[in-house]
Amino acid sequence: MNIRKTDIPGLMILEPRVFEDERGYFYESYNERLFAERGIDIRFVQDNESRSRLDVIRGLHYQLEPHAQCKLLRVLEGAILDVVVDIRKNSPAYGNWYGIEISAENRLQVLVPGGLAHGFRVISDYSTVFYKCDKFYHPESERGILFSDKALAIDWGIDPARAIVSQKDIAAPLLEDAENNFIYKPDQKKGFQEQ
């Protein structure tokens, strides 16, 4: 598995080794030992799956500490534009966003550390997204940031007025008004060594 770092500390793109033949394909999407060898020491406790139609935007979501979730995300059907925003105070990338196309075809995965707000836009007719979390869902800690916050200037590839978004996500605050208790500490990046 090839692991690429990004400009946002701790955010990684994983490219699994895929074995294909006339029968189809096989790959390991997660291997605890391999992750540990690469400095990624995470114990996942919950799996989530969602299916959405074209132009649905979900996000930007996160949970406050001590319930912040690290997520390992992949797409089982279709394609998405996956987006994360660094909201860790003191991070060199604070307020920056990163977007990448993840699809069932390219089989890329995104490893999102706690302290990043996460969301995606479906760019195929339908998409099924699967992700592992290292902390359980904790509704009292759930927070969000408005996906169309002009200060973030995220290029979703669609006019925000045409996107299909939940009422809860439309009502989310701007980054400057969002509740956030994350502090970036480069010497304490649990489970994430820069590759």
Residues 56-92: tens digit of each pLDDT: 999 999 999 999 999 999 999 999 999 999 999 999 9
Q: Which of 61, 98, 118, 184 is catalytic?
A: 61
Share of the chain above pLDDT 90, in %: 89
Q: Can 61 be counted among the known catalytic residues?
A: yes
d(CA 3, CA 21): 24
CA 17 vs. chain centroid, Å, equals 21
Burial 40-67 (b: 16+ CB within 10 A, else e): bebebeeeeeeebeebbbbbbbbbbeeb
For the domain covering 44-180, report its CATH number: 2.60.120.10
Q: Choose the catalytic residue: 62, 131, 137, 138.
A: 131
Under the phi-then-psi rule, with left for phi > 0, alpha for psi from -120 to 50, and beta for the rest, what region is 153? left
What's the whole-model pTM score? 0.92
pLDDT along the chain (195 residues), means of 10: 93 94 93 89 96 98 97 98 97 97 97 97 98 97 98 96 97 97 75 41
Q: Distance between the two ends of the chain, CA-based, in angstroms?
A: 12
Q: What is the DSSP letter of 160?
A: G
Q: What are phi and psi of 114, to 5 degrees?
A: -60, 150
Rounded mean pLDDT of the chain? Answer: 94
Give strand pairing partners of 99: 83
CA angle 112, 50, 161 (to 5 degrees): 85
State residue 117's pLDDT score.
98
Bridge partner residues of 161 (DSSP): none
